[in-house]
């Protein structure tokens, strides 16, 4: 039932990009009469933040394409009254008005509302370290930042570019710096304080991304936080905890964001434990007249139930629709986020959905993960490439908790299927049953998603036990490692101390395998070693299959 404009005459929106613009447009589609006023601190509304790195890199050549709407087009099409360069300074909840500062004239004025919507986004984290405010240290958040970065890079081509922060934006930017300076000799360095880049992915999965960065000439400094910067005659020196000094003439500092909550805090609205504005499932704050959405709020994680800040465009856009619905009397609810995310790093794509092992372990949620290396499509069809895939399930319920994939092709659709499966509460058994589209150029008759379900089922059915490569060193009793690959694979490398018996010879050479030691069996990707485990188990041996096999082990070991 859509509310007529009788009770709500005026909606004021703070922030005119992803969340704010979505609220405004849907609100207008639902209600022609309500007055909609939008305040945006910056000079642009409804722009494509996610496209900013690709304009800096030159892949999106036309800057105009990033500007989805202007104040004029929003007025014309949606009859929305947009004020740019207008910062909302405070909220008066009792009298229901906001105080706004026109940043061009410096004048302040009041705007009354029936309903207030907060979508002010997030702020880049800038820790109080020495030299953080030096000119030449940039962050990327909006069009103004993008323009400033491009101006600096165009005024003089840098010789050394340093990115601090190996998260999604940092890695996209490293890739795009390389794209921009493709023909020039520009040194790229990346500093990350954690042991690995891309914190949402587990360590087994990021090894390939780190290899790809190194392959593309990026100097990686991992597990080494920046402690400060100093000006040089011709640039900046960054210092790290381990004592490294990295000289650069351009620095991008993007180590993450924190929710922009200052307005909410000053107005006495409740802030959650993770620093975001607290909202209910209809995205209302504690004040029934004030909604909040996007990067500034806390939402619950759909898998863990934990409250957290998930700064992604998808949630902000969908929340915008819900806020407009609720204002108009439609009973919409936001159920929570999965943190589904993706990025391209040179020739590889990495994607993630749901919870990772680190989080599940921290929360004490029992989980089982399996690693596999399926082909992006039928291996006999040209262009097939191997992807690293991990599926995490809950042994008791067999429900899917998360998945991650890294590869050159086909990663996005597999993670999207798993995201849908998690949302629908599907189990590993459902994954084996899914009928997904197949022809050789696109997939295999057993899609990687089916295979992941089958492998997880095999483990749950006790057809095989698995050992994770990370746990290999921790295996306490002296074990017997068995390599069942072919000779040519063995020649390229093997796990030290392992005995080599190719799978095809295994039945005839069982006498060479000790019965008094735990056996760990591996092949290249895990499939042949599963066959070997089945032979061994049915001959009375106790054995475990090395999950992810030599591919995962070697990726971790080279890291």
Backbone angles phi, psi at 426, to 5 degrees: -75, 165
Whether 385 is catalytic: no
Q: Between the CA atoms of 197, 198, 203 and 206, what dihedral angle is there, to the nearest 10 degrees?
A: -80
Residue 221 beta carbon to ligand FAD: minimum distance, rounded to whole angstroms: 22
Cβ atoms within 10 Å of 107's Cβ, excluding its own: 9
Judged by CB, which is closer to ligand FAD: 309, or 556? Answer: 309
Cβ atoms within 10 Å of 191's Cβ, excluding its own: 25
Judged by CB, which is closer to ligand FAD: 34, or 52? Answer: 52
**Which residues are at the interface with ligand FAD (CB under 6 A)?**
14-15, 17-20, 39-42, 49-50, 52-53, 87-88, 119-121, 140-142, 169, 260, 263, 294-296, 311-314, 316
Distance CA 297, CA 121 (A): 9
Of 380, 371, 345, 375, the residue nearest 551 (C-alpha):
371
Residue 202 beta carbon to ligand FAD: minimum distance, rounded to whole angstroms: 20
Judged by CB, which is closer to ligand FAD: 86, or 386? Answer: 86
Q: Going by DSSP bridges, is the β-strand pair 519-522/480-483 parallel, antiparallel, or unpaired? A: parallel
Residue 504 beta carbon to ligand FAD: minimum distance, rounded to whole angstroms: 46
Judged by CB, which is closer to ligand FAD: 91, or 555? Answer: 91
Judged by CB, which is closer to ligand FAD: 52, or 198? Answer: 52
Residue 71 beta carbon to ligand FAD: minimum distance, rounded to whole angstroms: 13
Residue 116 beta carbon to ligand FAD: minimum distance, rounded to whole angstroms: 12
Angle in degrees, CA 407, 409, 410, rounded to 5: 100
Residue 372 beta carbon to ligand FAD: minimum distance, rounded to whole angstroms: 26
Q: What kind and span of H or E run contains 97?
A: strand 97-102
Distance CA 510, CA 536 (A): 8
94, 270 Cβ separation under 8 angstroms:
no
Give 342's contacts (C-beta < 8 A, 6+ positions apart): 349, 350, 351, 352, 411, 412, 415
Distance CA 540, CA 524 (A): 24
Distance CA 452, CA 403 (A): 10
Give 114's contacts (C-beta < 8 A, 6+ positions apart): 7, 8, 9, 10, 11, 96, 289
Judged by CB, which is closer to ligand FAD: 143, or 451? Answer: 143
Residue 146 beta carbon to ligand FAD: minimum distance, rounded to whole angstroms: 8
Residue 542 beta carbon to ligand FAD: minimum distance, rounded to whole angstroms: 46
Distance CA 430, CA 453 (A): 8
Question: In a 10 Å sphere around its CB, with 0-12 CB exposed, 13-18 middle and 19+ buried, how is residue 236 labelled?
Answer: buried
Sheet holding 235-240, edge to edge: 226-232, 235-240, 245-248
Of 302, 276, 258, 240, the residue nearest 124 (C-alpha):
258
Judged by CB, which is closer to ligand FAD: 43, or 559? Answer: 43
Residue number of the CB closest to ligand FAD reads 294
Residue 461 beta carbon to ligand FAD: minimum distance, rounded to whole angstroms: 37
HEC profile for 214-278? HHCCEEEECCCCEEEEEEECCEEEEEECCCCEEEECEEEECCCEEECCHHHHHCCCCECCCCCEC
Judged by CB, which is closer to ligand FAD: 142, or 244? Answer: 142
Q: Between the CA atoms of 457, 485, 201 and 57, what dihedral angle is there, to the nearest 10 degrees?
A: -130
Judged by CB, which is closer to ligand FAD: 88, or 238? Answer: 88
* From 50, 296, 437, 523, the catalytic residue: 50
- Residues assigned a catalytic role: 50
């Amino acid at each position: 039932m859509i509310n007529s404009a009788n009770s709500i005459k005026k909606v004021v929106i703070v922030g005119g990009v992803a969340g704010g613009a979505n609220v405004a447009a849907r609100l207008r589609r639902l209600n022609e009469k309500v007055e909609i006023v939008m305040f945006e601190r910056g000079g642009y509304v409804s722009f494509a933040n996610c496209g900013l790195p690709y304009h800096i890199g030159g892949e999106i050549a036309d800057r105009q394409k990033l500007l989805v709407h202007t104040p004029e087009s929003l007025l014309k099409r949606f009859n929305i009254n947009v004020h740019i360069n207008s910062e909302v300074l405070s909220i008066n909840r009792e009298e229901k008005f906001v105080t706004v500062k026109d940043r061009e004239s410096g004048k302040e004025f009041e705007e009354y509302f029936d309903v207030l919507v907060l979508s002010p986004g997030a702020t880049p984290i800038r820790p109080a370290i020495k030299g953080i405010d030096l000119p030449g240290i940039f962050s990327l958040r909006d069009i103004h930042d993008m323009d400033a970065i491009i101006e600096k890079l165009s005024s003089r081509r840098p010789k050394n570019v340093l990115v601090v922060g190996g998260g999604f934006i940092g890695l996209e930017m490293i890739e795009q710096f390389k794209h921009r300076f493709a023909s020039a000799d520009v040194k790229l360095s990346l500093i990350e304080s954690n042991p690995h880049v891309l914190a949402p992915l587990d360590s087994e999965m990021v090894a390939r991304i780190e290899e790809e960065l190194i392959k593309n000439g990026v100097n990686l400094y991992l597990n080494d936080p920046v402690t400060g910067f100093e000006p040089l005659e011709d640039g900046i020196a960054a210092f790290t905890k381990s004592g490294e000094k990295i000289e650069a003439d351009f620095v991008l500092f993007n180590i993450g964001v924190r929710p922009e909550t200052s307005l909410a805090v000053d107005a006495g609205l409740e802030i959650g434990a993770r620093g975001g504005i607290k909202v209910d499932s209809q995205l209302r704050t504690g004040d029934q007249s004030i909604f909040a959405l996007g990067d500034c709020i806390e939402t619950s994680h759909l898998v863990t139930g934990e409250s957290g800040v998930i700064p992604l465009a998808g949630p902000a856009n969908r929340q915008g629709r819900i806020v407009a619905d609720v204002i108009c009397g439609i009973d919409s609810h936001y159920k929570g986020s999965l943190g589904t995310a993706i990025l391209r790093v040179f020739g590889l794509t990495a994607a993630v959905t749901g919870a990772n092992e680190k989080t599940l372990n921290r929360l004490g949620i029992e989980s089982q993960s399996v690693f596999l290396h399926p082909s992006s499509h039928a291996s006999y069809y040209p262009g097939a490439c191997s992807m690293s895939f991990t599926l995490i399930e809950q042994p008791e319920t067999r429900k899917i908790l998360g998945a991650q994939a890294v590869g050159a092709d086909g990663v996005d659709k597999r993670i999207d299927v798993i995201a849908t499966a998690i949302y629908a509460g599907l189990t590993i058994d459902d994954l084996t049953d899914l009928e997904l589209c197949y022809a050789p150029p696109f997939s295999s008759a057993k899609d990687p998603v089916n295979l992941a379900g089958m492998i997880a089922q095999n483990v749950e059915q006790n057809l095989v036990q698995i050992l994770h490569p990370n746990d290999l060193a921790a295996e306490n009793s002296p074990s017997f490692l068995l390599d069942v690959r072919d000779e040519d694979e063995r020649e390229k490398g093997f796990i030290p101390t392992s005995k080599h018996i190719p799978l095809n010879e295994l039945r005839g050479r069982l006498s060479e395998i000790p019965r008094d030691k735990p056996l760990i069996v591996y092949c290249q990707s895990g499939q042949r070693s599963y066959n070997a485990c089945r032979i061994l188990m049915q001959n009375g041996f106790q054995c475990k299959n090395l999950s992810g096999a030599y591919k995962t082990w070697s990726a971790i070991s080279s890291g």
